[in-house]
Structure 1
């Protein structure tokens, strides 16, 4: 799975690459501000803010109805949801402003941006998986007693790995249950990790949650198979069970819907 673990901290690989690039950019401009001109420090702070804020703002505007009903989610950056092309546009705008105001510093600023982009790309290359993991050769028992295999059913699957003790899992489950009820192009499968049926059933009843399909992965076979280093983890599987995309950590409604649309569009194009 596309994830990076550093001690107790776990990052989605794409977000880790972006953070690595941002840290490189800010670190280099801080050094240059000390050695060349302290104006670079102020410029880099505004540039970093503009890039991240711009990427987030465009995503929010694209899904404004959903964010208006829960405005606090605008600041839930850990859920994902950025339009990086627009973020890059904001950075270019800041570069143009610096070029107009102080061309002497433009070369140093451009070198910092190039360094940040290079580190982002290199980190992504090293951490993002280029292979589509096949489905595991395992049969799991559902909460209702049925025996279920992963993949091979002829339909795309949204596979969510979760546990009752996991706070972000508990936060996203009601939203995912709602999306699952209305989804027509993909099936949802909620695979509880490491817990017994009585505990899972008690939790769902207590929260009044109805999930379409819940399987019990008491040995955490799926977490090992997909190399999920944390929970929750959501995997988007093609109709043959291979992984097409993944998201580590709490996922937003918008990102979830976006990934489902990409998955079903791909399957439709292949038919």
Structure 2
């Protein structure tokens, strides 16, 4: 799994590369503000804010029906969900504003933009972990049944594998939505592999929360986290019918991300993405 850990914080590789690029973008802008024109510092701040706001707004507009049902989810930017086109519009708006108020400083805006893009490309390349692992052949006990299940044996159907634990707040937040998505998509196997907890702890959590999950795997030694390189929870893996990994998502996942991946399964697009 392409991910980066910094102390107690874990980031998916794509998010980390964007954050690194934004930090360099703003740092170069601050240096230019001190040496060339102080309005370049204002530009980088405005471009960052407008870019993030535009990217989020673009995503919300694309999936407006879902957000109308849960409007507060618009603010849950930690889940992800950004439109590159919307972000580009926000940055272009900041450039237009700079050209209008400081036309001589506008050409200097290309320098922080170039630096940020360069760092984004470099970090993306360095954090690419290469070939993704195939579905493991190890069998895991199923919580509600007297049987075991091996993910590698479930060929012929796409699979969504969610790694979770009851002590994990984002796991608990996303679980009701995940259960709903599993119930409304019977053509896909949803597997919820608990990491490191006992049957008693899992059963107590499910009873208290009222979440109804059909297939819960017991992974007491977190073997699946190691197999897929998950450095934090929750982690969601989209597995093609042939056992190859199609996509991964580290951290709390949002409804639209699952819907997009399920649509890709239906279209036969098994390209690996992060």
The TM-score with structure 1 as length reference comes to 0.94
Q: Is the 8 A contact 1:152 1:240 kept in 2?
A: no
Q: Counterpart of 1:256 in 2: which secondary structure?
A: helix
Return the alpha-carbon distance in structure 1 between the equivalents of residues 187 and 53 of structure 2. 33
Q: CA deviation at 1:151?
A: 3.1
For residue 113 of structure 1, report the CA deviation from its aligned partner: 0.5
CA distance in 1, matches of 2:132, 2:31: 41
**C-alpha root-mean-square deviation of aligned residues, in Å?**
1.7
After TM superposition, the structure 1 = structure 2 runs for residues 113-192 of structure 1, keeping only pairs within 5 Å, are: 113-143=113-143, 144-153=145-154, 154-192=156-194
Is residue 230 of structure 1 aligned with residue 232 of structure 2? yes
Displacement of 1:235: 0.5
Q: Which residue of 2 aligns with 1:98?
A: 98
Question: Any conservation in 2 of the 1:233–1:249 contact (CA below 8 Å)?
Answer: yes
- The CA deviation at 1:101 is 4.2
The CA distance in 1 between the partners of 2:249 and 2:266, in whole Å, is 17
Map 1:60-79; keep pairs closer than 5 Å. Answer: 60-79=60-79
1:87 equivalent in structure 2? 87
Offset of residue 185 of structure 1? 3.6
Secondary structure of 2:191's aligned partner: strand
> Does the 8 A contact of 1:185 with 1:264 survive in 2?
no
What 5-or-longer segments of structure 1 have no aligned partner?
Answer: none
**Secondary structure of the corresponding residue to residue 103 of structure 1:** coil
Q: Deviations over 1:6-48 (max 9, x none)?
A: 1111111111111111111011101110111111111111111
Partner of 1:112: 112
In 1, Cα distance between the equivalents of 2:19 and 2:265? 27
- What is the rounded CA distance, in whole Å, between the counterparts of 2:158 and 2:122 in structure 1? 31
Give the Cα–Cα distance (whole angstroms) in 1 for the partners of residues 123 and 129 of structure 2. 12
Are 1:25 and 2:36 counterparts?
no
Q: Secondary structure at the match of 1:136?
A: coil
Gaps of 5+ in 2: none
- Quote the residue 2:58 is aligned against: 58
Structure 1 residue 242: Cα displacement = 1.6
Alpha-carbon contact 1:152-1:239 (below 8 Å) kept: no
Quickly say closer, same or farther: Cα 1:68–1:32, change in 2 above 3 A.
same
Deviations 1:123-150 (A, max 9, x none): 1111133322211231101012221011
**Corresponding residue for residue 253 of structure 1:** 255
Q: Is the 8 A contact 1:151 1:239 kept in 2?
A: no
Q: Residue 202 of structure 1 aligns with which residue?
A: 204
Supply the distance in 2 between the matched residues of 1:17 and 1:123 (Cα, whole angstroms).
5
Contact 2:39 2:102 in 1 (8 A): no
For residues 35-63 of structure 1, what are the alpha-carbon distances to aligned partners after superposition, in whole Å with 9 as ceiling and x for unaligned? 11111111111111111100000111111
Query: For residue 43 of structure 2, what is the aligned residue in structure 1?
Result: 43
Deviation track 1:200-220 (CA, whole Å, cap 9, x = no partner) reads 112112211111211000111
